[in-house]
Structure 1
């Protein structure tokens, strides 16, 4: 039997996409919530919460989920690294899928990026370029942040290696840095490119989204999966069996 859903952030762009996708897949939305609503009452009416609201609301959401012993799917981005580390400790107390991107294609991009980083090595300069619509409030995107994490993990580098754009006389690029460039404009749903550039050749891995429905479908797939899992933090790699 499919779980009943609480869509938190239902009035946002992703909220609308989730409501539409739930209807298409015959999933029951038992409750919706937005800023100012009684989130506890809404959570009580559903089996699992799918959250695409605000990073400012994540702590309250997780505290309520722990109290209610309810699984959650979190797609909200924009958390500062220190805050996210603390929130992940809370999230581990319930079954939780936390991902910056719920697209199947993007999660394959994550796997390919890890493989390419391991195979190519530091002689290939790594840069990440992402572009989103003019209304996006955070940068870099959650997807770009995850791509950067993967590259840093494989190369055993810390966050100090990141270069958020370049300006002025920066000197020659070193192999111990990873570039990130965030573009904003128009109605772009989400474009991500990972570039590995060496002397003599360049490899580019690109994913382009044209419809938010792909993210909504992936998040609902995660919601159906997480209700059968023990407490802990999972990502879409787990949901899709890519690990």
Structure 2
């Protein structure tokens, strides 16, 4: 399968490039960066000391050489890439977070023409955690307060993380609620006592934290914690490759990692 990588000069992009180069059933055919990036013209494998023959480019026409794009960039970049993917008939794995409603609608519209896996987190372990949260929330739907904590590196620009939001949504869904109706995004000053049935969020940004997520179910006399900690971006890369392979059998449609893993 011919793969294109967006954000090729970034940490996640380089991790994805390395994973594709090491996969016997995948071939790197395009590496994209933002317009004017100093990485343009470099070999995509230069950071590994490898000559791949694929030059990093900011020309979206390079997508025509690929069957699937893997994109972990930013919403504005991803949407531009998605438009080109639709034009060239290229499938898309989207790990970018922070989309607004209009952006999500654009992804949904594109899925009518191409196959897309769109997920807040490509990690297999995180997606298993989502399922554990659904089970726990159904059983702990009375007498327990739910809180979502997440921590990421200082350069992450959206908060709460897409994964934290998805964890909150898993709990809210199990409670037959809409997350936006019961979420407490911040607390400051005299907040009063905690309201029953709400889901609180707290965020840390600092250093080089790859990604920590914990959901607390706090009851009387006990506390249950369901935690996922990422120690390497390799887990996201490997999950993304699984998603790309899944799309090989799809012509169009919008899927997530729950579909990929058949959870």
With structure 1 as the length reference, what TM-score do the two structures score? Answer: 0.93
- Partner residue, 1:147: 167
Matched-pair contact (CA < 8 Å) for 1:163–1:177 = yes
1:55 aligned residue: 75
Q: Verify: 1:234 aligned to 2:255, yes or no.
A: yes
Q: Which residue of 1 aligns with 2:31?
A: 32
Aligned equivalents of 2:94 and 2:126: distance in 1? 16
In structure 2, what is the Cα distance between the partners aligned to 1:122 and 1:45? 54
TM-score with structure 2 length normalisation?
0.86
Rounded Cα–Cα distance in structure 2 between residues aligned with 1:155 and 1:163: 16
For the residues of structure 1 that align with 2:238 and 2:152, how far apart are their CA atoms? 19
Question: SS of the residue aligned with 1:172?
Answer: coil
Partner residue of 2:189? 168
Quick one: distance in 2 between partners of 1:135 and 1:60?
22
What is the Cα-based RMSD across aligned positions, in Å?
Answer: 1.4
Q: Which residue number in structure 2 is paired with residue 76 of structure 1?
A: 96
Partner residue in 2 for 1:213: 234
- Separation in 2, partners of 1:125, 1:82: 32
Per-residue deviation, 1:198 = 1.1
User: Structure 1, unaligned stretches of length 5 or more?
Assistant: none
Over 3 Å off, 4+ runs: none
Structure 2: runs of 5+ lacking an equivalent: 36-57
**Partner of 1:4 in structure 2?**
2
- Find the structure with the greater CA-based Rg: 2
Q: Match of 2:223?
A: 202
Give the number of equivalent residue pairs: 239
Q: Offset at 1:86? A: 4.1
8 Å contact 2:152–2:205 — kept in the other structure?
Answer: yes
Q: How does 1:97-108 map to 2 (within 5 A)?
A: 97-108=117-128
